[in-house]
């Protein structure tokens, strides 16, 4: 299929059923017990510093592992798999001194995912597989000071964040992704820089792709790390006219549900959710079993809260299989029509009818 045909198929599938996203990448890579040599390969064998833990780099040094993980999630029932590019920006990769490798990481990450998706689509034509270009958060924030004694201090400018995301999204587009997924958003201003980078691609002659935006509620307060409520966050990003908006990470399904319900009430687009496998235990591990995750997300689907479901930290292909099995045949959430109004946001939402 051409990319235009894939996007049309994606939108048709979203109208027909609840779509399934993949699960955690970090936990699956950790299970491989990889050594420093796996991350270095031949290309980075002389790079200074430790590279172990830079999982995005495996797109270049161990593409076989990345392809196997895409295949595992597609086999488990995922319609959409993310590129292994969560931290593949020049700002994030600067911590390893690998800014020069950013374009190649994103390009190869997209190509690996594209090849796997196309192979599964050919194998099962009635269930096309799609690729989401993963655009994760940065280790710096535009909305919050980097110095407790100086409220105006910032380590980066908006222009620097924009340029970092622009490099990433160009490479993901060139590699063949079907949509962009700005995820695990802790700072809405960082997200706005990513949105602008994506929207500006059209001015450069790139084919426009669907945008999926997923924020993170960091604790029981129901706010993002930069302080916004769910409704304020939605008001801040709605101008992008996203294909989907949702929440991921941080909270397990039990604690995330009220925030997803609020988003389902106010968002006039598809709503997604991919929670962690519960909260981590004292050892930092996740104890929630696949059937437990599947059962809770089935309830969300049955109650009409979601259009896309998947998993974040601690979830595995087995978790995704249970989720896919649990929601099979359940109708997706109807997208509501909201009356026209001026809706603004700071930390709180503000509406003028």
Q: Distance of CA 168 to CAs 85, 182, 192, Å?
A: 9, 11, 15
Q: How many domains does the chain have?
A: 1
Matching residue, tokens 């437990």 = 292
The answer to whether 93 and 87 are in contact (CB under 8 A) is yes
Q: pTM score, two decimals?
A: 0.96
The answer to whether 210 and 240 are in contact (CB under 8 A) is no
Give 80: exposed, middle or buried? Use CB within 10 Å, 0-12, 13-18, 19+.
buried
| Structure confidence at residue 280 (pLDDT) | 87
249 carries a ligand binding annotation: yes
Of 34, 15, 31, give the one whose Cα is nearest residue 23.
Answer: 31
What CATH number has the domain bearing residue 175? 3.20.20.330
Contacts of 223 (CB under 8 A, 6+ apart): 217, 229, 347
136: left (phi over 0), alpha (psi -120 to 50) or beta: beta
| Structure confidence at residue 252 (pLDDT) | 87
312 carries a ligand binding annotation: yes
| Structure confidence at residue 52 (pLDDT) | 97
The answer to whether 99 and 71 are in contact (CB under 8 A) is no
- CB neighbourhood size of 53 (10 A): 13
Pull the structure tokens for residue 192. 């706005």
How far is 241 from 227, CA to CA, in rounded Å? 23
Pull the structure tokens for residue 344. 């603004």
Range(s) of the domain holding residue 190: 3-352
How far is 181 from 161, CA to CA, in rounded Å? 17
Helix (H) or strand (E) holding 163: helix 158-175
Residue 32 is given by DSSP the state T
Kindly give the confidence (pLDDT) of every residue in the chain, 353 residues in length, as a single tens digit, with 9 standing for 90 and above: 999 999 999 999 999 999 999 999 999 999 999 999 999 999 999 999 999 999 999 999 999 999 999 999 999 999 999 999 999 999 999 999 999 999 999 999 999 999 999 999 999 999 999 999 999 999 999 998 888 899 889 999 999 999 999 999 999 999 999 999 999 999 999 999 999 999 999 999 999 999 999 999 988 888 999 899 999 999 999 999 999 999 999 888 999 999 999 999 999 999 999 999 998 888 888 999 999 999 999 999 999 999 999 999 999 999 999 999 999 999 999 999 999 899 999 999 999 87
Q: Distance of CA 284 to CAs 127, 136, 170, 279, 287, Å?
A: 36, 21, 35, 9, 10
Of 15, 114, 104, 12, give the one whose Cα is nearest residue 58.
Answer: 104
Pull the structure tokens for residue 312. 């974040």
Pull the structure tokens for residue 193. 């820089």
The answer to whether 168 and 136 are in contact (CB under 8 A) is no
How far is 185 from 215, CA to CA, in rounded Å? 4
């Amino acid at each position: 299929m051409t990319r235009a045909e894939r996007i049309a198929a994606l939108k048709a599938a979203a109208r027909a059923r609840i779509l399934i996203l993949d699960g955690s990448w970090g936990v699956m890579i950790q299970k491989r017990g990889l050594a420093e040599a796996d991350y270095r390969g031949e290309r980075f064998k002389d790079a200074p510093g430790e590279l172990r833990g830079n999982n995005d780099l495996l797109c270049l040094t161990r593409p076989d592992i990345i392809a196997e993980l895409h295949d595992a999630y597609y086999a488990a029932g995922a319609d959409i798999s993310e590129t292994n590019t969560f931290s593949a920006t020049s700002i994030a990769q600067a911590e390893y001194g690998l800014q020069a490798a950013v374009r190649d990481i994103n390009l190869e990450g997209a190509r690996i995912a594209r090849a796997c998706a196309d192979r599964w689509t050919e194998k099962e034509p009635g269930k096309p597989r799609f690729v989401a270009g993963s655009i994760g958060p940065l280790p710096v924030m535009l909305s919050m000071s980097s110095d407790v004694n100086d409220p105006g201090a910032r380590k980066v400018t908006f222009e620097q964040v924009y340029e970092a995301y622009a490099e990433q999204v160009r490479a993901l587009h060139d590699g063949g992704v079907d949509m962009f997924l700005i995820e695990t958003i802790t700072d809405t201003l960082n997200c706005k820089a990513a949105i602008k980078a994506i929207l500006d691609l059209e001015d450069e002659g790139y084919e426009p792709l669907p945008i999926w935006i997923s924020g993170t509620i960091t604790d029981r307060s129901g706010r993002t790390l930069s302080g916004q409520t769910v409704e304020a966050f939605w008001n801040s990003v709605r101008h992008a006219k996203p294909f989907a908006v949702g929440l991921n990470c941080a909270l397990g399904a039990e604690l995330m549900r009220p925030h997803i319900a609020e988003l389902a009430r106010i968002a006039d687009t598809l709503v997604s959710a991919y929670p962690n496998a519960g909260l981590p235990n004292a050892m930092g591990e996740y104890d929630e079993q696949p059937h437990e995750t599947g059962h809770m997300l089935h309830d969300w689907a049955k109650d009409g809260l979601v259009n896309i479901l998947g998993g974040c930290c601690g979830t595995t292909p087995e978790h995704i299989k249970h989720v896919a099995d649990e929601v099979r045949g359940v109708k997706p959430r109807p997208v509501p029509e909201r009356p026209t109004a001026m809706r603004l946001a700071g930390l709180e939402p503000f509406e003028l009818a």
